[in-house]
Chain A
Amino acid sequence: MSYQPIHQPPPMDFRSKSMRLNTLRRSVMNHLITALSILATLLVIAPLVAILAYLIYKGASSLNLAFFTHIPAPVGEPGGGMANSIVGSGIILGLSSLMGVPIGIAAGVYLAEFGRGTLLANAVRFTADVLNGVPSIVMGIAIYSLVVMQQKHFSALAGGVALAIMMVPTITRTTEEMLATVPHAIREAALGLGVPKWRTAISVSLRTASPGIITGCMLAFARVAGETAPLLFTAFGNQFWSFKLNEPIAALPLQIFVYAISPYDEWHRLAWAGALVLIVLIMVSVTLVRIVANRGVLKGAS
């Protein structure tokens, strides 16, 4: 066999004028695009920083120990706090996560691992997408007639159900999307070892996709944590302590709403403080879950 000589391009002269111009143009373009990306990043962060700064400016001065330990004071009396609302929000969100997270993840696993292409899967996916677009006030009215009317009174449970239904679509769709990113080769590895399909779905696919699924759950949690409208006709709010699931219960967003539309300056200040506490609590709980979820991740894991 004879070898054909490979055509060689003329050597490049990096000092020629056109070459230097070209280099300059590329370098300018590079800096320009980098600057634009940084600018866009700042624009994204700016609103969050602005909101947080304004909340601290308006609300921090009203924060004291009593805010976290006392229930609201009667009209006309100074002081009082939101202790019952903080605990109430915790109870409602705990309930909704307890119901929404397992159902959402299970539905997502069905969509990605078992139901591909089936009629039921398409129906579930469509329902989830529509449910995601239902205004939260509509969700409140729906749960009012489905749960509250049946129970004949407002309750923490009804509030939990309303928020759980709002969490499910987000969790289902992120679970499905995250499972879709798990390479098929990894499932085949498990099936090839004689692991049953259900076990592969749970111990291999779900486990591999778990960081993304946890992010999805946190997004859903953070979104419903600040919801007021679905709680208006379900949890209703409460000026006193309540730990019973079948009684009206206080919640931070409801208390903020009540105080913010009141005519009293003192209450306005407390509403600002409540908003600050709400946003900080959401940030803290999301961070905590991330820290717990990242424990035990191995060196070099991808």
Chain B
Amino acid sequence: MGVGIQVENLNAWYGSTHTLQDINLHIPANHATALIGPSGCGKSTFVRCLNRMHETNPIARATGVIKMGDLDIYKDASPVEIRRRVGMVFQRPNPFPTMSIYDNVASGLKLNGFRNRRILDETVERSLKQAALWEEVKDDLKKKSGASLSGGQQQRMCIARALAVDPEVLLMDEPASALDPVSTSKIEDLIFQLKSQYTIVIVTHNMQQAARVAENTGFFLNGKMVEFDSTHKIFTNPSDKRTEDYITGRFG
């Protein structure tokens, strides 16, 4: 089951650039939340703070409180534990090129020392079915490299890989921006099905996509969160002028 996320006074820096300024936000459990905004506004930095990937960059720094349920992710746990509970799908499909499809999906478990074959088999099958890829790859699981799949299939495999470690939250950083329309609609269907079981945060440049998949939407601009509300309200009756200008295409 998913878990809600409470963000309080989050600030983040890359070197001396203040990329996120005083973000306060509640992301509800088992819903999809979309983050929109022009390039460089801090959306990606924000999701990378949620699983502590932000700090893998040596010049990056963050302050503030992020709570997953009751857990303060910066105080009560190591980054490695947090990343097991908060899965991430990146903008470009990033399969492990030397591994088979099976090993790619099982990698989160295998690289953490999990060896039980029966459970691994079950997990790989369940995850690939959840990611709607099972039927297409079930005959080549161990024969083909993960990198041999098409771009859309690779991205669904990356989603299966993230689901295999059974996370509570799934972060998606523009998961469909490198894909064709058919693959994009498959990924969107997937998000629609997955949000009953996981808390999903999706960064997107595509406003129709945000409107299609998310109950709530946040609008970011220049490192600040301008507005956060139900998706319907943001797209029909935004309370901030800047949000309205952005969604009507006046800038960005």
**Do A and B assemble together?**
yes
Contact B111 A199 (CB under 8 A): yes
Task: Give the 5 A-B residue pairs with the shortest CB-CB distance, closest first.
Answer: A300-B148, A194-B84, A301-B145, A193-B108, A194-B83
Does A186 count as interface, using CB distance less than 8 angstroms? yes
Apart from A185-B90, A189-B95, list 12 A-B contacts with CB within 8 A: A188-B53, A188-B56, A191-B56, A192-B87, A194-B81, A194-B165, A195-B111, A204-B111, A208-B98, A298-B99, A298-B148, A300-B148
Q: Among the listed B97, B112, B161, which residue makes an inter-chain contact with A208, where contact means beta carbons less than 8 Å apart?
A: B97
Contact A204 B56 (CB under 8 A): no
* Distance, CA A194 to CA B82, complexed state (A): 7
Contact B162 A193 (CB under 8 A): yes
Q: Among the listed B58, B94, B97, B143, which residue makes an inter-chain contact with A302, where contact means beta carbons less than 8 Å apart?
A: B97
**CB closest chain-A residue, reference B144:** A299
Does A133 count as interface, using CB distance less than 8 angstroms? no
Contact B97 A192 (CB under 8 A): no
Decide: A302 near B96, CB < 8 A? Known: A190-B107, A195-B108. Answer: no
**Chain A contacts of B92 at CB under 8 A?**
185
- Least Cβ distance of B126 to chain A in Å? 16
Does B158 count as interface, using CB distance less than 8 angstroms? yes
* Distance, CA A300 to CA B154, complexed state (A): 13
* Distance, CA A298 to CA B95, complexed state (A): 14
**Chain B contacts of A194 at CB under 8 A?**
80-85, 108, 112, 165
**Chain B contacts of A117 at CB under 8 A?**
58
Q: Among the listed B53, B94, B100, B161, which residue makes an inter-chain contact with A186, where contact means beta carbons less than 8 Å apart?
A: B94
**Chain A contacts of B83 at CB under 8 A?**
191-194
Q: Among the listed A183, A191, A302, which residue makes an inter-chain contact with B53, where contact means beta carbons less than 8 Å apart?
A: A191
Does A5 count as interface, using CB distance less than 8 angstroms? no
Does A47 count as interface, using CB distance less than 8 angstroms? no
**Chain A contacts of B149 at CB under 8 A?**
300
Does A26 count as interface, using CB distance less than 8 angstroms? no
Contact B51 A192 (CB under 8 A): yes
Contact A299 B111 (CB under 8 A): no
**Chain B contacts of A196 at CB under 8 A?**
80
Does B88 count as interface, using CB distance less than 8 angstroms? yes
**Chain A contacts of B98 at CB under 8 A?**
207-208, 210, 297-298, 301
Does A203 count as interface, using CB distance less than 8 angstroms? yes
**CB closest chain-A residue, reference B142:** A298
**Chain B contacts of A188 at CB under 8 A?**
53, 56, 90, 94
- Least Cβ distance of A297 to chain B in Å? 8
**Chain B contacts of A193 at CB under 8 A?**
83-84, 87, 107-108, 111, 161-162, 165
Contact B147 A195 (CB under 8 A): no
| Among B97, B100, B107: residue with most chain A CB under 10 A | B97
Contact B90 A192 (CB under 8 A): yes
B90-122 CB mask vs A (1 if < 8 Å, else 0) is 101011111110000001100110000000000
Q: Among the listed B51, B58, B84, B94, which residue makes an inter-chain contact with A185, where contact means beta carbons less than 8 Å apart?
A: B94
5 contacts between A and B (CB under 8 A): A193-B111, A194-B81, A194-B82, A194-B83, A299-B148
**Chain A contacts of B140 at CB under 8 A?**
299
Contact A186 B108 (CB under 8 A): no
A154-197 CB mask vs B (1 if < 8 Å, else 0) is 00000000000000000000000000000101101111111110
**CB closest chain-B residue, reference A185:** B94
B130-167 CB mask vs A (1 if < 8 Å, else 0) is 00000000001001110111000000001001100100
Decide: A192 near B88, CB < 8 A? Known: A199-B111, A203-B111. Answer: yes
